[in-house]
A = this chain, B = another copy of it.
Amino acid sequence: MINLHEITIAARQAAHTLAVLDRTAKDGALQALADLLLEHAPEILSANAVDIELAEQAGLAPPLIDRLRLSESRLRGMADDVRKVAALPDPVGVVFDQKVLPNGLQVHRQRVPLGVLAVIYESRPNVTVDVSSLALKSGNAVILRGGKETLHSNRALLKVIHQALEACEIPAGAVQFIDSSDRALLLELIQMGDEVDMLIPRGGAGLHRFCRENSRIPVMTGGIGICHLFVDETADQKAALQVIHNAKTQRPSVCNALDTVLVHHAIAEGFVPALIGHFQGSGVAFRLDPAALDAFQAQPVAGTEVSLAGPEDFDTEWLSLVLGVRVVAGLEEAIGHIQRHSTGHSDGILTRDPAHADRFVQQVDSAAVYVNASTRFTDGSQLGLGAEVAISTQRLHARGPMALVELTTYKWVISGDYHVRP
């Protein structure tokens, strides 16, 4: 019987300990975790094999099963990632906005952990280790609720995480796992607004909506990306094709993969056929607006699936090898399309005109706005943050990749000489 009340009390107590732990202690636990992951590889892999077998029996699609699968090399990758987190600077205790007020009061802000995090996620078992290591490094206790497809893998990973904590005398309450996929229990958890400080759902749009509608804990939603690239009249067209190809195909199943290409009408006649030709043999299916379809039909390319875009197509996050193409009158219409259809994740312009780049950057208000680069860079480790716990597309607290600093808050520290307010 899972008792959320006990879990949150243990988490709060651990959070008090973690908040004042120094960097050496936290990094020591992370190094221990990396070692133990490799040492206990056989147990973790055999637990994972049970999940894989159950998934196959349940008829899960092969790409989903692949996401569940662990291997020696994936475990080595997980251990390396934990060591990378250990090598990152400790965000806790960092002082900023230091000043002395005219009355002599000394004021600064100091970074402190958020406290207790709850993370609800699906499938990939590496999330369990990623999130645990980021939480530990940032001094937060975390309550994990993974998907039922990875239950055995997660149990084995948690055992190793608890061994690492124990070896470094960190309370087990620092990382706790809810060993149930009971929806009523999930609902109860996300209503514990006094016990948990931040809720991070990692999964599909349905999970995000469920959390937003039912949570009494402040929620960080994100990870839903309808992403655009606008090919301006002045773009280097050859280079643009490579960027679009990368943004669409380098990993089509993720949130920062490209969904829609907007093409300046002045270059559409040549660029649309070139674009479709460039994807020959890639398996990408195109959804074209009427103008793009006209341009294509004037110079058709064989071997590529092309169809007229339906009414919902420009509002769909494809997460697969589908790409929408629309011809626009120019920069203004491209920005307008993005304002209406983007989920505010990652949108970019490909151009040689600095004034157009500038206007695009000012008027497109997405978490990540690109000039002449693939949308695939919206990622904590790609943007130099070392790792990420999620990608936020909401506006409060953090936007885009959330790494260590984004798992902290701050307190004001005010020192005086028995100052009173006049």
Q: Tell me whether A399 and B395 are in contact in the complex, defined as CB-CB below 8 angstroms, given that A216-B212, A374-B421, A415-B373 are known contacts.
A: no
Assess whether A105 is interfacial by the CB under 8 Å rule: yes
Residue from A366, A374, A409, A421 whose CB has the most chain B CB atoms within 10 Å:
A421
Assess whether A363 is interfacial by the CB under 8 Å rule: yes
Tell me whether A369 and B413 are in contact (CB under 8 A). Answer: yes
Closest to A20 in B: B362
Q: Tell me whether A421 and B361 are in contact in the complex, defined as CB-CB below 8 angstroms, given that A369-B413, A412-B369 are known contacts.
A: no
Q: Which residues from B are CB-within-8-Å of A220?
A: 396
Tell me whether B421 and A250 are in contact (CB under 8 A). Answer: yes
Q: Which residues from B are CB-within-8-Å of A368?
A: 411-414
Of the candidate stretches A30-38, A153-161, A239-247, A280-288, the one touching chain B is: A239-247
* Residues from 130 to 163 in A contacting B, C-beta threshold 8 Å: none
Q: Which residues from B are CB-within-8-Å of A382?
A: 421
Q: Which residues from B are CB-within-8-Å of A363?
A: 20
* Residue interface mask A350-363, B partner, CB < 8 A = 1: 10000001000111
Closest to A421 in B: B376
Interchain CA distance A239-B236 in the complex, whole Å: 71
Assess whether A19 is interfacial by the CB under 8 Å rule: yes
Q: Shortest Cβ distance from A420 into chain B, in angstroms?
A: 4
Q: Shortest Cβ distance from A326 into chain B, in angstroms?
A: 21
Interchain CA distance A114-B399 in the complex, whole Å: 11
Interchain CA distance A110-B373 in the complex, whole Å: 18
Interchain CA distance A25-B108 in the complex, whole Å: 32
Assess whether A384 is interfacial by the CB under 8 Å rule: yes
Q: Shortest Cβ distance from A173 into chain B, in angstroms?
A: 16
Q: Which residues from B are CB-within-8-Å of A399?
A: 409-412
Tell me whether A367 and B412 are in contact (CB under 8 A). Answer: yes
A-side interface size class: 35 or more
Tell me whether B101 and A383 are in contact (CB under 8 A). Answer: yes
Tell me whether A411 and B216 are in contact (CB under 8 A). Answer: no
Interchain CA distance A410-B401 in the complex, whole Å: 12
Closest to A241 in B: B418
Closest to A394 in B: B218
* Residues from 374 to 422 in A contacting B, C-beta threshold 8 Å: 374, 376-378, 382-384, 394-397, 399-400, 409-421
Q: Which residues from B are CB-within-8-Å of A19?
A: 365
Closest to A362 in B: B20
Q: Which residues from B are CB-within-8-Å of A107?
A: 383-384
* Residue interface mask A107-133, B partner, CB < 8 A = 1: 100101011000000000000000000
Q: Shortest Cβ distance from A271 into chain B, in angstroms?
A: 15
Assess whether A313 is interfacial by the CB under 8 Å rule: no
Assess whether A99 is interfacial by the CB under 8 Å rule: yes
* 6 intermolecular pairs with C-beta atoms under 8 Å apart: A101-B384, A193-B213, A213-B216, A218-B395, A371-B413, A396-B397
Counting from the closest, the 10 A-B pairs by CB-CB distance are A373-B416, A246-B420, A239-B418, A376-B421, A371-B415, A373-B419, A397-B397, A218-B396, A368-B412, A395-B409
